Amino acid sequence: MPFKQVFSAATTRAAVHAAVAVLMVMWIGTPTSAWGQDKKMIRIGVTKIVSHAALDADEKGFEAALASAGFKEGVHVSYDRQNAEGDPVKATAIARKFEQDKVDLVHSIATPTTQAVVKVISQIPVVFSSISDPVDAGVVPKDSAPGKKTGSNVTGVSDMWPVALQMETYAKFVPKAKTWGTIFNPAEANSVTHVKAIRAAAASLGLKLVEVTVASSSEVEAAAKSLVGKVQAITITSDNTTVANIDAIARVCDQNKIALFAGDVDSVPRGAIAAYGMDYFLVGYSAGKKAALVLKGVKVGDIPWGPVEKFSLVINLKAARAQGVAVSPDLLKRAAKVIE
């Protein structure tokens, strides 16, 4: 069954909640496993594909969860924090480094880095986060589903966005916008998954979608400029290449009165008009709770992977004014946070 189908099923949510409820009992308190009882410093390798607000928030959330579970940095754990800087080859080199160093656990942030990790590492526990579709990305078994155990050395937290609901919401900000654009790196599996969902959502709303691809961060601003005169609005996927450079996209949108929308709330202060999305600190925090279970002695393959299900609308009125959009009172009432 495709991930997008199992992701939305109520039975899946029930399975996630039931399985995690049992395991969370073990999460509360101070370290109790052999790792926590002896004097050994636990070594955790952290790898992310690139640094941007959402992934940085994810990393902070992960470490906050471990600290809350009693695993304090410098006391119980040490972190080897690595950044692949958008380079899949470097991501693989980082994974090999962690394997050679025999770290105790790996926290892999985003799809490309996790794909590199699971190809290289088979004996060290891996906890992923910020992956849109772990099944399609080959991170978890093909027959796996949210709320299920992987039976492997991997578990984690998905950040699949409610794309149809996002597009429906964003269209209400700019009802006259009939042609939308999106920019993404096709080398990122998560981006390809999201763009497929955006195509379907746009079609259902009677909107035309113009797609522009990039291969690196240096191409993002030019890609945004190529949409000038062709689209009235732009929506950004979970693509790490574009999210890391959303400031450049926002500048183009401000200068040309193009409405810009994001899928993660961390991009809103950086120039998007709005995002109906998730707080990536909570994505990382959820992954950190799973990592704490591993460090307390639970087999990683027995810990179900699953999604974060809490979404909220965040609006940036300054960006809306810069891009020539008047936000309706109804949308403002729906917002969990409004940036003036």
Q: What is the pLDDT of residues 241-286, one digit of tens each?
A: 999 999 999 999 999 999 999 999 999 999 999 999 988 999 999 9
14-28, 67-81, 154-168, 231-245: least confident range: 14-28
Question: Same domain, yes or no, for 93 and 228?
Answer: no
pLDDT digits (tens, 9 = 90+) for 103-125: 999 999 999 999 999 999 999 99
Question: Same domain, yes or no, for 25 and 52?
Answer: yes
Grade residue 309 by pLDDT with cuts at 50, 70 and 90. confident
Question: Same domain, yes or no, for 251 and 295?
Answer: no
Question: Same domain, yes or no, for 95 and 211?
Answer: no
Question: Same domain, yes or no, for 149 and 290?
Answer: yes
Question: Same domain, yes or no, for 217 and 71?
Answer: no
pLDDT digits (tens, 9 = 90+) for 23-82: 544 444 445 444 444 568 999 999 999 999 999 999 999 999 999 999 999 999 999 999
* Mean pLDDT, the chain, whole residue set: 90
3-class SS shares of the chain: helix, strand, coil, % to 5:
45, 20, 35
pLDDT for position 10: 41
139-143, 175-179, 231-235: least confident range: 139-143
What CATH number has the domain bearing residue 317?
3.40.50.2300
pLDDT for position 38: 53
Total tally of structural domains belonging to the chain = 2
pLDDT digits (tens, 9 = 90+) for 313-339: 999 999 999 999 999 999 999 999 999
Question: Same domain, yes or no, for 326 and 217?
Answer: yes
Please name the residues in contact with 45: beta carbons below 8 A apart, sequence gap of 6 or more: 79, 80, 82, 94, 97, 98, 101, 103, 105, 106, 107
pLDDT for position 31: 53
Percent of the chain with pLDDT over 70: 89
C-alpha distances out from residue 174 to 170, 199, 204, 259, 260, Å: 7, 18, 16, 8, 10
- The reported pTM is 0.79
Q: Report which of residues 289 and 16 the model is more confident about.
A: 289
pLDDT for position 39: 60
Question: Same domain, yes or no, for 122 and 252?
Answer: no
Question: Same domain, yes or no, for 175 and 114?
Answer: no
Question: Same domain, yes or no, for 13 and 153?
Answer: yes
Q: Under a CB-based contact definition with an 8 Å cutoff, are residues 313 and 261 in contact? A: no
H or E element that contains 264: strand 259-264
Please name the residues in contact with 25: beta carbons below 8 A apart, sequence gap of 6 or more: none
Q: Report which of residues 126 and 12 the model is more confident about.
A: 126
Query: Is residue 99 helix, strand or coil?
Result: helix
Grade residue 160 by pLDDT with cuts at 50, 70 and 90. confident
Question: Same domain, yes or no, for 198 and 321?
Answer: yes
Range of the domain at 61: 3-159+279-307
Question: Same domain, yes or no, for 43 and 111?
Answer: yes
